[in-house]
Structure 1
Amino acid sequence: MSTFVTLGPPNSNHDFVLRRYLRAHGLLDLERVRIELVDDFHQGARMLIDGRADFMLQCAVHPSAAEITGAFRRQVFVVDAFISRSRPMSLLMAQDHDAGQLPRRVGLQPATREYADLSRWSEAVLEPTVTAVGEGLLAKKYEAGIAFSSLLEEYPGRFQVLEDVGAICDAWVVFGTAAVDKGKAVVWTDSPVARLYRDAA
């Protein structure tokens, strides 16, 4: 059985995309694979090094991606990369926000900062995950935030959509403890973009 580790909590973008990836490989079977969710990627990398996990998934644009690749470069290696859409997101504001009051605080996970126009807020509250932004909205920690659009269905009447972000297509990286590149570029030569290259040529 292989253990895959990624950033929690449950239903985070990382959890969502990892399950899509494992399903695409035909591995999403509890008898063949186990998923461990961690609070940060340093913890996940140490799990790989200690043999407590076999692979780790990280979004390529996660704020700690370069740090993980550099800090653990002698023990942890990129073994795969792919593209996948995230869970749909929106810039949400509490429905009961006083329209006459200037919005002050907006919650966001740093990688989502450019997903919407946040210029009207004087203070950005950074959270470790998009899930945490949703929790912050529910706790009224800030007036608005970039959160999963599913909050609209889970808590009807609580939020209004200021801007629909949608599902973002990102690059994702899988780490393991054995290098697979053999010093060469590992390229999927029959990928959808490879077909575009051939058509253009």
Structure 2
Amino acid sequence: MKFITLGPSGSNHEYVTRNYLAFHGIDRKAGVELAVDFEQGARAVLDGEADFLVQCAVHPATMATVAKYLEGLYVVDTFISPSQDLAIIRRKAAARSGTLAVMAPTLDYTDASRWDRIEYVATVAEVSRGLVEGKYDAGLGFVSVANAHADVLMVEEFIGTVDDAWIVYGRTKISGGQLLAWPDSPAAAIFHEMA
């Protein structure tokens, strides 16, 4: 069994996908491959090169993924997962920069008005890697990368994890034209308690 998600290696998509497989107890039986974009991932599933595609529901490409592959690529599961810890990270040797490197959907996690300029980067993993390599002086990246490179990076503002909704796509349509939901979910318990 093969799951495909957005790379590069170390991406939040890879992190969450591996946690999802471990949750289901299939992490030793299923592989994870990384795509350069969701179009490549969707094509891999449709062409039988992968079995499932995992995508964050708030990723900018989600609407296109659902719309473009309406026939053939179906939602087979959804779940909620925390991200890796995030932070505003700065290179220690850099002068206070007015530019923040950030993946667009994460910009609202901080006060963007503090920055003179925002540089948009495709993924948080790329921001993190760019900080290590000296491409960026400051960026919204993974705390784990700052910790692993504490000699050159520092956490300026800890943000923490974000709970996101995630979508798993496959080739089998499972809804049967009906609503599928978890009737004993934690949310259902809240609904019944409030009702």
The answer for the alignment partner of 2:16 in structure 1 is 17
SS in 2 for 1:184: coil
SS in 2 for 1:119: helix
Identical pairs, percent: 37
The answer for the alignment partner of 1:150 in structure 2 is 144
How far has the Cα of 1:124 moved from its partner?
1.7
Assess if the C-alpha contact under 8 Å between 2:128 and 2:145 holds in 1: yes
How far has the Cα of 1:80 moved from its partner?
0.6
Assess if the C-alpha contact under 8 Å between 1:14 and 1:59 holds in 2: yes
The answer for the alignment partner of 2:48 in structure 1 is 51
Matched, 1:191 2:185: yes
Assess if the C-alpha contact under 8 Å between 2:132 and 2:149 holds in 1: no
Cα deviations across residues 59-100 of structure 1 (Å, max 9, x unaligned)?
A: 00011000111011111111110000000010011112224x
The TM-score with structure 2 as length reference comes to: 0.95
Match of 2:112 among 110, 118, 126: 118
Match of 1:77 among 74, 78, 84: 74
Q: Superposition RMSD on alpha carbons, in Å?
A: 1.2
Q: Distance in 2 between matches of 1:68 and 1:112?
A: 20
Cα deviations across residues 32-57 of structure 1 (Å, max 9, x unaligned)?
A: 21211111000000011111111100
The answer for the alignment partner of 1:8 in structure 2 is 7
How far has the Cα of 1:136 moved from its partner?
1.3
* Alignment: residue pair count: 195
Question: Mind listing any 5+ residue stretches in structure 1 that lack a counterpart?
Answer: none
The TM-score with structure 1 as length reference comes to: 0.93
Instruction: Look up the equivalent residue of 2:53 and give its one-letter code.
Output: M
Instruction: Look up the equivalent residue of 1:189 and give its one-letter code.
Output: P
1:94-105 to 2 correspondence within 5 Å?
94-99=91-96, 103-105=97-99
Match of 1:131 among 118, 125, 130: 125
How far has the Cα of 1:152 moved from its partner?
2.5
Assess if the C-alpha contact under 8 Å between 1:137 and 1:144 holds in 2: yes
Q: Distance in 1 between matches of 2:102 and 2:183?
A: 37
Q: Distance in 2 between matches of 1:124 and 1:139?
A: 19
SS in 2 for 1:9: coil
Matched, 1:168 2:167: no
The answer for the alignment partner of 1:181 in structure 2 is 175
The answer for the alignment partner of 1:86 in structure 2 is 83
Assess if the C-alpha contact under 8 Å between 1:104 and 1:143 holds in 2: no
Question: Mind listing any 5+ residue stretches in structure 2 that lack a counterpart?
Answer: none
Q: Please identify, of 14-23 and 117-126, the stretch whose mean Cα deviation from structure 2 is larger.
A: 117-126
Instruction: Look up the equivalent residue of 1:13 and give its one-letter code.
Output: N
Instruction: Look up the equivalent residue of 2:142 and give its one-letter code.
Output: F
How far has the Cα of 1:162 moved from its partner?
2.3
How far has the Cα of 1:156 moved from its partner?
1.4
Instruction: Look up the equivalent residue of 1:24 and give its one-letter code.
Output: F
